[in-house]
Amino acid sequence: MHFSRYSFEVVVSNGLIHVIGGRKKGAALNSIDIYKPKTNTWSLKTLSKDFG
């Protein structure tokens, strides 16, 4: 992951692990860390403020 977070959700889809939202230092996060096990790499996506 790009940074630590807590109170997040995890979804596994199409061989990818999505770590969604959560909190960091009390602030809500609007990002998704996506892990690709085949290449052992992470990518970061930001959600729009309208999401949810």
Using 70 as the pLDDT threshold, list the residues of the chain that sit under it: 49-52
Please tell me the pTM assigned to this model.
0.81
Q: What is the rounded distance in angstroms from the CA atom of residue 18 to the CA atom of residue 16?
A: 6
Q: Could you give the strand order of the β-sheet that contains 16-20, starting from the edge strand earlier in sequence?
A: 9-13, 16-20, 31-36, 41-46
Average pLDDT over the chain reads 90
Residue-level pLDDT at 2: 80
